Every structure is written in structure tokens, then in C-alpha cells.
Copies of this chain bind each other. A is one copy, B any other.
Amino acid sequence: MASKKGKKYVFFFRPGKAEGKGNNKNLLGGKGAGLAEMCNLGIPVPSGFTISTEACIYYFKNGNKWPVGLQQEVDKNMAKLESGMGARFGDRDNPLLVSVRSGARASMPGMMDTVLNLGLNDKTIAGLIKRTDNPRFVYDSYRRFIHMFSDVVLGVEKALFEKELSALKQAKGVDLDMQLDADALIHLCERYKEIFKAHTGKEFPQDPKKQLQMAINAVFGSWNNKRAKDYRRLYNIPEDWGTAVNVQAMVFGNSGDKSGTGVAFTRSPSTGENVFFGEFLVNAQGEDVVAGIRTPLSIDGMGKTFPQAADKLRAIAKRLENHYRDMLDLEFTIQEETLYMLQSRVGKRTAASAIKIAHDMVQEKRIKREEAVLRIHPSQIDQLLHKTIDPKATLEVLTTGLPASPGAAVGRVVFSSEEAIELHAKGEPALLVRYETSPEDLAGMSASEGILTVHGGMTSHAAVVARGMGKCCVAGAGEIEMDEEDKTFSVKGVTVRAGDWLTLDGSAGRVILGSTDLVSPTLTGEFGTIMQWADKFRRLKIRANADTPEDATLARKFGAEGIGLCRTEHMFFAEDRILAVRQMIVSDTDDQRAVALQKLLPMQKNDFIGILEAMQGLPVTIRLLDPPLHEFLPKTKASIEKVAEEMGISADAVERRVEALSEANPMLGHRGCRLGITLSAIYEMQVRAIFEATAELKKRKVDARPEVMIPLVGIKKELEICKEMVIRVGKEVQKAEGVKFPIEVGTMIELPRACLVADQIAEEAEFFSFGTNDLTQTTLGLSRDDAGSFLPHYVERGILPYDPFASIDEEGVGSLMKLGIQKGRKVKPKLKIGICGEHGGDPRSVSFCHAVGLNYVSCSPYRVPIARLAAAHAALGEKRK
């Protein structure tokens, strides 16, 4: 039917001409589009064809059936390929071999499957040996093919083949695969076929057409393997995109010492330096590089062996970079000294690299500032905002590896992903130490602070994934001797055990014994310049959530334009005041309570002086006490007794109060303004502290700008009552101190009801601040503390597209926000509205906040630059529309 409609599923390409277009990634996938573009530019690329993502989508929607006509299209294109290559698929004398590779719209490195050397069978190897006169190469290709096909297409355990290979190398007394001779490889191929039969019950398939069909289906199917699904979830790639399949004539990097294969970047993916960068393995096929098993040559090293090919590669790289106006990631193979390009795509890079490249390309007048800002993904710069090792620290450097992903990390050593996840779940930092990582390790890497590998280079799996995640990584630290069984590793006699503390310096590749002090990053140089450009484009103001003068100072350094949320309760937990807080709570009478509050007043006042001074000239939104009182009381018998003793009352009395205050659902209990109304002395003390601090600073000519925020308002009258008190106390302080200052009162909008009656509430409020954490909890009826038992399952199963505590649930919470904004502004068109939930630092949520017309977002100090950039993206994205 699809065929009758004339739908074309297959697109041919050969150097000089491709049916597909380079900008049609949606149809051809990233790899297919890149190959088409290179062909159209006349760059040497092995010919082949791309089966479109539409074919894949059809396949999934129709019970794993190909669309009508696809088989004919594939056959027609294979025939075209045969005639172009002068070889025939399955021919005994001159067999055509092909690679079958996945290629989705978005790059998902290593996540989906590839089969190389397809077309080999017991008969075609004979022809190939005759043509190449290189039996070692042919059997090497065959064993690779059997291994890959068995694994990818039929799911035969990889380890079975690897074990066989290791045993063989040991028997032959060699270290590397390439040292095995033809006889050894002939033997290996036979063993591999036996393994295949033992595990599938069938002979290894000999019909190349059948092999191709099975491989295409396997590549389609690999879209849905666990790794790929995990990756998509992590990077928010839609499930329904599907993958394209690229079938391409093989060129052989493993055909001898005049061949090889490599990857390159047109600039440094790690630092962004404008230096051509690459890695090359002689006599190898692509998977050898990516897997990181052998340590590769640099591009310069390759130039010594293959000067012509190296020059040609540099020239092509330059041409492609000019064409794409961006740093590119290239894959190439050299077969008998001839260069073939296998892939060209915009290269993944660290945040530092992204910033340098974007900055430099503006200097080079290749791109505009808008483009430069848009090229830095907000979530990516998170890695620049991570800490580095304190330059003043004394370090005991154990060994050094490759600086595979920048930043520093301190954690406890684990040797498996499972242990990393376990430790992380306990709230302890893990450092994952592995020979090498594989896509199976994704979750474990995500749970670790940093990754250390013994094998592999800068483009090894560990390095690529760690950079993508913004995790620190040291790769290829070859001095390390692992004893995975014993859960230890040692370097030159020093043994590190599981659980020991270790520090990694991903920027310098250093592995340091013990736990080391880290220092906070700053925004300077090119980063600072790009952030300044971003600031010009954005409309949203960015504030920070900060409870201490230190946090406030840091936030300001990171560009915060105010404090959006200063939580007063964090101050209550300080050691010097928790006792007074508890006395206040345990008080039986208003008089007793007043005494305790009187002790707290000067402490709170000092807190506010510190924060208001740090933020002078900028607004500081101070939220009055929010959590239920029982949060401040001890829970266990022992701690109750201790508190009782400190307070000089009986443990019974404390226990009774704990009991009386305990709640079935504290999230929905006696907290926020409900406390402020029923126990008004607490709020009154806090407000007095705020205004006394303000008055004192005013006297010292410090421009303090507090805004008093009332939490958990759902009813206009609640705000009315609290506001009345704030204004009264404010005026009392003004009178007593003889100083004038503005008294500004607003509210958090964190209950569905507050959004629904926002018009009424706006009559009393000078500002709204969406508390999207609680608003998410109430709108979805989802306790953040308890959601662990089902929310991950929901996200995994696609019931929710993502964790609503990480990104605003736009359909639910977002539509309540829109309602609240619309109703609030109907009454007060200039009402200042912000957000102070943790969503304020999430790029997707920032974009939403821009779209719905908020005035500001507020987030943790470390995420302020991310929010600044995300806000610029939102504004620029809107402009483009």
C-alpha cells in the first residue's frame, strides 16, 4: 500500500551524488544525512544506501513487518551498489561485503547496533582470499562478522566469543588480536560457528540476502534495546522517532599494515582549541577504536605512516568544518593507503569546548552571537559549574590517565555499576572504577561522581558518555592493576580497596589518594563573555534560592539578580538556636512561647542582616516559616531524652508534644501560613527580625530590599491576615527606629486552590512566587518523598514523559500556573510573578516560564548560569518563531 502511494523508503548515495539531502536528518537519521551530504560534496565515501526512519516506524507499528515494496527497493539498491562496486553480493569470486549500521535523528553513540563484513560465508571467503591474497585479513573479518552477527542479530552472549578469543591468545602467547595469524583465526572461525550452533540450534546463516534482512531487522530492533531506551530517557529523545539503517560497501581497515581506521574531531572536543584532533589504529576495524581496548595513535602519529591520507583527511576536515560552520566528529578508514570517510557529524563536546568553539567562531566571523549562545546547551554548562581541586591542597597523586572529562570528583571506590547505584542510593558519593565501560554501565555511571578506567582513550565509551553527562572521567590509567574479584586495585604496590576514598581530576587525568578539598568554579573569560551575550538576549530575570550570606554571595557572583527564596527554617536548625526553637514549640503557654521567641529574634535579625547586606541593591524574598513544627523536634527515644535534659523538662513532656504534633500527612498539614495564623507570635517575631535588620542596614546606608513572602496561601483571607500583621509590625519598627523603608508582601502560589482563586489573592499580594515543588505534589497527588516506589517505573514505561519534579509537568502543573498568572494579572496587570521551586534551574522549565510570561525564575546558586543561558535560549527561540 505504501509502495502504491509511491512512498520511497530507500535512498542511494555514492561520491558525487546522493538521493537524500544532508539536511534531512528526520528521514535519513544523522549518519545517513551526513553520508549524503559528504557524497554531494564529492568527498570519498563508500557507496551505499539508507533505509529511512519511516520504514522503521512502519515496522514497529505493524508487528515487525516491512512495508510493502521495501524488499524490492532494497534489492534494487543492492544491485546498484553491486554494479557501482564491481562486485556481487554472495559471489564466490568477487563478493561484495557491506556494513549495516543504525543512525537515528539524534546521535546516540554506542547505543544501537552495527554489523560489519556482512556477506561473508564459507564460500565467499574463498573468493575474497583469492582476490586479496590475504587469508589472515579474510579470516579476521569473518570471525568479527560471526561474532557481531551472533551478538547483534541473535543475541548470543558476547562473552562466549571473547572468552574463546582470550583463550586462543593465551595459547598462542600473544597480547593483541592483530598478532594472531591466519591459522589461528581459521580455528577461531570454526569455534565461533560451533558456539553459534550450540546457542541457536542452527547453522550459521550462509545466505547473504538472508543475513542482510536479519541484520536490518536487528538494527530496527536495537532502537528498543534497554541501553537505547535508557539513553533516550536520559537525553529526552522521543520514543517514536525510530532509526534509519545504513547499508554501505565495506572498506577494510583490517586488511594489513597499510590499512587502519580512526576517528577525528576538527577541534578539540575537550577544550575547544582550534587543533585537529584524532586517534587512529593500524590494521583495525571501527569497533576496535570505539571500544577503547587498544590505545590508539594520534593524528600526528598517523601522519608519519600515512602522510598522503593524513593530508587528505586534514583537507576534508577543514572543508567540512567550513561547510557546517561547526566542529565535526569524523570517522574514516584507510584501506591500502586510500582514505574513505565513514561518518561526519557535529561533534559532541565538553561544555568548556563548546564555549571556546562558539566564542572563537564568533571571533572568526563564522557565526553570530545569537548562534553562539544557542550552541551552548544550558544543561551542558552544569559541568563548568562543578568544583575543581583546591590548588592549595597537598595531593598524593597515585597515577595518571587521560583527562577524558573535566571537573573533579571525590568519592568512595566501587567496582561495579550495581555498587555505584547502591552507594548513591545511600546518599554517599561513588567513584566507579572499571577496566573499561560499556553501554550496560550507563546507569552506574549516572549514579557515580566520577569514572576511572584502566583501558581506553579519549573517545572510549567511558570518555564519551562521561562528557555527555558532565561527569569527571579519567580514562586509560594503564598503570592500574585490577583485582575485580578481591575488589581492590593497586598501583606500584599501593592498594586501594572498595569503599576507600579517592579523588579524580578529570581535567588533568590525575588519580589522587584520599578525599581532597574542592573549590567552586567562577564565570570568567570566554564563558563570561558568552554569558554576557546571553544576558543581552534574555527577558527573564534570574534570582537564586539562598538561605545564608555565603550562598547569597556565591549566587551574586554567578549573576543572580536577587534572592527569590530565602528559607527561614534552615536557620532554625543551626546548632546555636535549635534549642530555643524547640523551647518555643514545646511551650504550653503564650508567655513561655514569647520567652523562647525573644531568644530567637536577635539571631534571626543577624541572619537577615547578613543576607540583605550581601544582596544590597537587589531584592531578597524571605519566606516565613513553612514546615510543620514537628520537623524541629527529635524523633527517637534517645534524642527525645537528650532534648528533654537540655531543656530541663521531662522526656514525657517532650514526647507528648511530639505525639500531639505528629501528622498523618505532614505535607498537607499544619504548616505555612496556617502556623502563622494559629500561632501568630512566630511569624510576628520573624517579621520583626526582618524589619529590624532592614532598619539597621538603612541606618548604615546599605540598600536592603526585603520582600516578605507568606507560604501555603490558598485563601485570600489567609494572606489578608498575615499581610495586616506584616504591615503593622513594619510600621512599629519604622516608628521605633525612626527609619522609613518599603513594606512589600507577597505569597507563594503552591496549592491548586491558590491558582484557582489567584484573582482574589492578587488583590492582597504585591508578588506571586510559584512554589512548583509543592504545586507538583498537590496537583499530581504525589509525595516527593514516597514517589520512589513508582515514579521511576512511570517514567520508564512512558506513563509520564519525565520526572515532574525535575521538569515542570506542563499539562497539569503548567496549566494551573497559566491560570494563576492570567487571573492574577487580570486584577493587577503589573503583578510581579516568579518561580522558586527547584524547576527554576531546569532549562526546559525555564523555557516554559519564559513562554508563560513570568518575570523571574529562582534556582540554586550553582544553577544560576544555566538559568541565564536557558532564559536566553527561550527568548531567542521565540524570536526565531
Contact = CB atoms under 8 A, between A and B. Distances in A.
A780 B774 CA distance: 12
Contact of A790 (B670, B790, B794): B670
B781 A712 contact: yes
A756 B799 contact: no
B674 A780 contact: no
A162 to B, nearest CB: 33
Interface in A647-681: 663-670, 674, 677-678
A319 interface: no
A486 to B, nearest CB: 31
10 contacts: A664-B666, A664-B667, A669-B787, A670-B789, A678-B790, A712-B781, A718-B799, A753-B812, A756-B812, A756-B816
Interface string A482-512: 0000000000000000000000000000000
B783 A668 contact: yes
Residue of A777, A812, A815 most packed against chain B (CB within 10 A): A812
A594 interface: no
A655 to B, nearest CB: 17
A495 to B, nearest CB: 36
Interface string A724-750: 000000000000000000000000001
Given A668-B665, A783-B665, A799-B721, A757 B677 contact: no
Given A774-B781, A781-B668, A715 B800 contact: yes
B785 A664 contact: yes
A837 interface: no
A756 to B, nearest CB: 5
Given A670-B789, A786-B663, A779 B756 contact: yes
Given A751-B779, A778-B752, A786 B666 contact: yes
A226 interface: no
B812 A669 contact: no
Of listed A715, A721, A816, residue having the most chain B CB within 10 A: A715
Contacts of A667: 664-665, 667-668, 781, 783
A646 interface: no
A798 interface: yes
A717 interface: yes
Nearest to A675: B790
A766 interface: no
A130 interface: no
Contacts of A753: 779-781, 809, 811-813
A757 B809 CA distance: 11
B751 A783 contact: no
A793 interface: yes
A253 interface: no
Contact of A778 (B715, B781, B790, B813): B781
A781 B665 CA distance: 10
Interface in A786-831: 786-787, 789-790, 793-794, 797-800, 809, 811-813, 815-816
A476 interface: no
Nearest to A777: B668
In this complex, the member of A667, A677, A789 whose beta carbon has the largest number of chain B beta carbons within 10 angstroms is A789
A783 B781 CA distance: 12
Give me the 4 closest cross-chain CB pairs, A-B, nearest first.
A668-B783, A753-B812, A665-B783, A664-B785
A563 to B, nearest CB: 24
A782 B663 CA distance: 12
A564 interface: no
Interface in A304-351: none
A664 B627 CA distance: 14
A678 B809 CA distance: 21
Nearest to A760: B811
A429 interface: no
B669 A780 contact: no
A231 to B, nearest CB: 22
A714 interface: yes
A847 B812 CA distance: 28
B815 A756 contact: yes
Contacts of A780: 714, 751-753
A658 to B, nearest CB: 14
A760 B751 CA distance: 23
Given A668-B786, A756-B815, A717 B798 contact: yes
Contacts of A809: 753
Nearest to A785: B664
A774 B715 CA distance: 18
Contact of A782 (B668, B677, B777, B782): B668
